[in-house]
Structure 1
Amino acid sequence: MAEILPLKAWRYSHFLNHNIEELTSPLFDVVSAKQREALYRNPYNSIHLSVPRGEQPADEAAYLLEQWKEKGVIQQDPLPGIYVYYQYFKLAGADREYCRKGFICHIKAYDWHERVLLRHENTIPSAVNDRIDLLAKTQLNSSATHGLYTDPEFILERYMDESIKSPIYETEDYQGVRDVLAVIHDRDVIQLFMDVLREKQVLLADGHHRYEGSLEYRKRMMAQNPAHTGFEAYNYHLMYLTNTEADDLRILPTHRVLQNISISDEEFLDRLSAYFTIIPKEDPVELNEVIVGKKWAFGLYLSGNAFKIRLKPEVHHLIDWDVPQEVKDLDLTVMHYFVFQQVLGIDPEVQRNYSGLSYERNFTTCIRQVDTGSARLALITNDVSMEQVKRVCYSGAIMPQKSTFFYPKVICGFLFSSIKEDEFITAPAACL
């Protein structure tokens, strides 16, 4: 099913890569304004390609990219390879060190209806348009999206484990995660990776906007090319692939924060009580703990007052969205239907681009925003399980936007991938 290819990555020259820690950057959708400003001060940091500045940011990035190539700031690896990428990390409150194992390659940008690559979240249109423009101007993937394949036999891990013993880079990133990159050049092993993935569907874990940007760019180029073959460089996308069967695949919750609501606190709670059991709590710092393991339960922090709320089971059938049962059963579907639509009157389509709604992974930040008055309320949720993600993907449906936060995030700057024809391996046979 999934066609993957090795790549000849563009990487920082050996004059710079000994300082690789100063050249990497967070993904464009998680980097904070303060982080950005610090990173922009380094003229060679990868953020200049992934989140460019200026009145015409995509044009600025394209110009800078050509300058970097001409001056040898970045150079293309002479041999194609599969790039092995391991991330070693710990979670708050736990002693165990996890290791998420995966590899970076090119994958064909399949349309959703082909059912080869499956999505699980909605996207925000404005963010997709920005990604298309950047890709069209630079013809460069500055960061890999994150995809998932299922292999209970762990066929590829032994080759990745062997490769990672000879790393290209090893550094600690902004998350406190130890990132290690290696590369496989062996012809037979590369072929094995391609063969294994050819039998798989891929679930898109993270990077829906970047992937959809590649998909839309491919459609544009196909329409302009009457001799389209399917092997042109514009058909492909950069992806980091990990095995869903690994125990080190972590998904963290993404909470919702509303800057304001159009009704009083009293009216909000009164409307909410038609659907939820509401239990006041003394201390807001417990809101993420009192809901753990409880279906359709949320923490609510409203104007400085804390509550545990849980959907009354007898009202769940009222969800009339045209989605499969797998989606109706999700906590976030319950939240978006009953709280945002029924209580606050925000239409589902409006929710996707609602300016007063923000998404926050950090629980403490949610509480602080309400305490400081920058937000009116925060809704704290549980995480989504890998099994739930699979069920939704295989059903053909999608979750509410920002449903998952796969941790840790992939970093930018270890490598870049070009989709210029003269810099790309255009057919499987060419790389073996």
Structure 2
Amino acid sequence: MTEILPLKPWRYNDKIALDIDELTSPLFDVVSAKQRETLYRNPYNSIHLSVPRGERPAEEAAVLLQQWKDEGIIQQDPLPGIYVYYQYFRLPGSSKEHCRKGFICNIKAYDWNEGVLLRHENTIPGAVNDRIDLLEKTELNASPTHGLYADPDFILEPYMDESIKSPLYETEDYQGVRDVLSVIQDHHVIKLFVQTLQNKQVILADGHHRYEGSLEFRKKKLRQNPQHTGQEPYNYHLMYLTNSEHDDLRVLPTHRVLRSMNLSDDAFLNRLQEYFLIKPIDDASELNEVIAGKKWAFGLYLSGSAYAIRLKPEMHPFINWNFPQEVKDLDLTVMHYFIFEKILGIYRAAQRSYGGLSYIRNFTSCIRLVDAGEARVALITNEITMDQVKRVSRSGAIMPQKSTYFYPKVICGFLFSSIKEDEFVTATAACL
């Protein structure tokens, strides 16, 4: 049973002359250093709560949050609601406009072993610790994570479509995406949302670090509270939920870039030939097109030379990681096992925190980094499909870290969800 709740979020005060376009920010794990410095110049931008700076960033974010509340920069909505969030976007090379439909609510922070909320990829430990500290000091979810539920009957979409006609905010973000937010406060409609999710599992699409931060915070509070009931605010987490049956869900690939390696180019290619078929490519800009739709195929850009490589089928059964077949069949499992572990000697346990490995979505950036001498090799991959995400999640296993990039990313700044005792909406008050 998935338990969701409406929320009474803190939002920027409409009566203060603040332009919402200047207050939103990218999520903590995608905002670049250059973007951060630009956003920090605005003293009221949401970046100060989601990616605080300073010697003690979490503590400074907590002080700033209270200051914003005291000065009326942000104020809490008086009624609980389900916040409808639509994102209108186009993909490169296409004129078709897509619309990803969803809604923001609070959801019980289920442990993975409960089988209610399912993860699909690994996390990077340092980023989790950072999120735990920030949540503990501020008691605030500054941005929603992204979850998927399956509803082939599209029960909730008519109510969301009606609500979005009266937006609270409408803006164009750093991705070129049009973001629109509205709210449903009708008690009977909210109850329908709650009931619709009750018998469904949720797959965590994006925000594994923030969600694990909430889990660890909940466990800590539980140990401190012998009167724990399960309804305390610390049991809940802010999430953006979308219907996985929509055609407008898009998952983009995340490529791998290595700054250095302990093999010469010739030695690396010789080792690759043990496992892969290798084909030189004249134009590196075509690497992503050459491998498109091909199983266990990758683009390789090595010291200025481009290759298409594809695993020899007879090699695949030699993967000896203790994973179910759904994970072994993934392109990225093939890459991480044969290239990183078998050829480069970077073993699976070390790959999650390996400092020389970068995860980059933009194909052109991968090529540019190698050309500029800032990286030795770029490995270009195909995207993961939604069917693969579902099958891996339901198998109970996880993909390699940074396997998926659900596009577009949600933005930070539309609303903030407090888990302070006197600011939280309880199930009894809002849903019964």
Q: For the Cα contact (< 8 Å) 2:190–2:431, is it kept in 1?
A: no
C-alpha distance after superposition, 1:117-164 (max 9, x if no partner): 000011111110110000000000000000000000000000000000
Number of aligned residue pairs: give it: 432
Equivalences for residues 7-406 of structure 1 within 5 A: 7-16=7-16, 19-406=19-406
| SS, match of residue 70 in structure 1 | helix
Work out the CA distance in 1 between the residues paired with 2:428 and 2:419: 15
Q: What is the CA distance between 1:425 and its match in structure 2?
A: 1.1
Q: List per-residue Cα deviations over 1:170-209 (Å, max 9, x = no partner).
A: 0000000000000000000000000000010000000000
User: Are the equivalent residues in 1 in contact too, given 2:369–2:375 (CA < 8 A)?
Assistant: yes
Q: Deviations for 1:73-98, whole angstroms, at most 9, x for unmatched residues?
A: 00000000000000000000011000
| Cα displacement (A) at 1:429 | 4.1
Secondary structure (helix, strand or coil) at the match of 2:180 reads strand
Shift of 1:431: 4.7
CA offset digits 1:237-264 (Å, max 9, x no partner): 0000000000000000000000000010
CA contact (8 A) 2:80 2:430 kept: no
Residue pair 1:5, 1:428 contacting (<8 A) in 2 also: no
Question: Would you say the 8 A contact 2:268–2:343 is kept in 1?
Answer: yes
Give the residue type in structure 2 aligned to 1:273: Q
Distance 1:17 1:279, change over 3 A: farther
RMSD between superposed Cα atoms in Å: 0.7
Deviation at 1:16, TM superposition (A): 3.9
SS at match of 1:289: helix
Once the two structures are TM-superposed, the CA of residue 426 in structure 1 deviates from its matched residue by: 2.2
CA distance in 2, matches of 1:200, 1:358: 35
**DSSP-derived class of the 1:190 partner:** helix
For residue 365 of structure 2, what is the amino acid of its counterpart? Answer: T
Distance 1:160 1:425 in 2: 21
Residue identity opposite 1:415 in structure 2: L
Asked if the contact 1:256–1:380 (Cα under 8 Å) also holds between the matched residues in 2, the reply is yes
Q: Distance in 1 between matches of 2:107 and 2:179?
A: 22
**Partner in structure 1 of residue 425 of structure 2:** 425
C-alpha separation in 1, matches of 2:141 and 2:430: 21
Q: Which amino acid aligns with 2:250?
A: R
Distance across 2 between alignment mates of 1:421 and 1:116:
25
Q: Deviations over 1:56-111 (max 9, x none)?
A: 00000000000000000000000000000000000000110000000000000000
Deviations 1:201-229 (A, max 9, x none): 00000000000000000000000000000
Q: Which AA in structure 2 matches 1:28?
A: F
Kept after mapping to 1: 8 A contact 2:300/2:380 = yes
TM-score normalised by the chain length of structure 1: 0.99
- In structure 2, distance between residues paired with 1:191 and 1:431: 6
**SS of the residue aligned with 1:285?**
helix
Give the match's secondary structure for 1:287.
helix
Q: Is the 8 A contact 1:425 1:431 kept in 2?
A: no
- Whether the 8 Å contact between 1:275 and 1:311 is mirrored in structure 2 is yes
Whole-Å Cα distance in 1 between the matches of residues 18 and 65 of structure 2? 20
Deviations 1:283-342, CA, capped at 9 Å, x for gaps: 100000000010000000000000000000001000000000000000000000000001
Opposite residue 115 of structure 1, the aligned amino acid is: G
Displaced runs of 4 or more, over 2 A: 15-18, 426-432
User: Using the alignment, how far apart are the partners of 1:165 and 1:272 within structure 2?
Assistant: 55
Contact 1:151 1:244 survives alignment (8 Å): yes
Cα displacement (A) at 1:428: 3.8
Letter in 2 for 1:243: N
Cα separation, 1, equivalents of 2:125 and 2:343: 26
Instruction: For 2:243 and 2:413, locate their aligned partners in 1 and report how far apart those are by CA, in whole Å.
Output: 23
- 1:295 and 1:324 map into 2 onto residues whose CA distance is 18
Amino acid at match of 2:136: A
C-alpha distance in structure 2 between counterparts of 1:169 and 1:95, whole Å: 25
Q: Is the CA contact 2:109–2:215 (under 8 Å) kept in the aligned structure 1?
A: yes
**Residues 16 and 331 (structure 1), Cα distance of their counterparts in 2 relative to 1, 3 Å cut:** farther
The 3-state SS of whatever aligns with 2:228 is: coil
The 8 Å contact of residues 81 and 184 in structure 1, kept in 2 or not, is answered as yes
Q: Cα deviation per residue 1:329-377 (whole Å; 9 max; x = unaligned)? A: 0000000000000110111010000000000000000000000000000
Measure, in 1, the Cα distance between the counterparts of 2:151 and 2:360.
32
The CA distance in 2 between the partners of 1:14 and 1:32, in whole Å, is: 29
> How far apart are residue 18 of structure 1 and its match?
5.3
Alpha-carbon distance in structure 2 between the residues aligned to 1:51 and 1:238: 17
Question: What is the CA–CA distance in structure 2 between the aligned matches of 1:17 and 1:267, rounded to whole Å?
Answer: 62
Map Cα deviations across residues 388-413 of structure 1 (whole Å, 9 max, x no partner).
Answer: 00000000000000000000000000
8 Å Cα contact 2:82-2:104 kept in structure 1: yes
1:25-53 deviation digits (Å, cap 9, x = unpaired): 00000000110000000000000000000
Secondary structure in structure 2 of the residue aligned to 1:288: helix
Equivalent-residue separation in structure 2 for 1:272 and 1:252 (angstroms): 26
Aligned-pair CA distance for 1:427:
2.2
Partner Cα distance (1:84, 1:241) in 2: 10
Distance 2:91 2:279 in 1: 29
- Report the 3-state secondary structure (helix = DSSP H, G, I; strand = E; otherwise coil) of the residue aligned with 1:383: coil
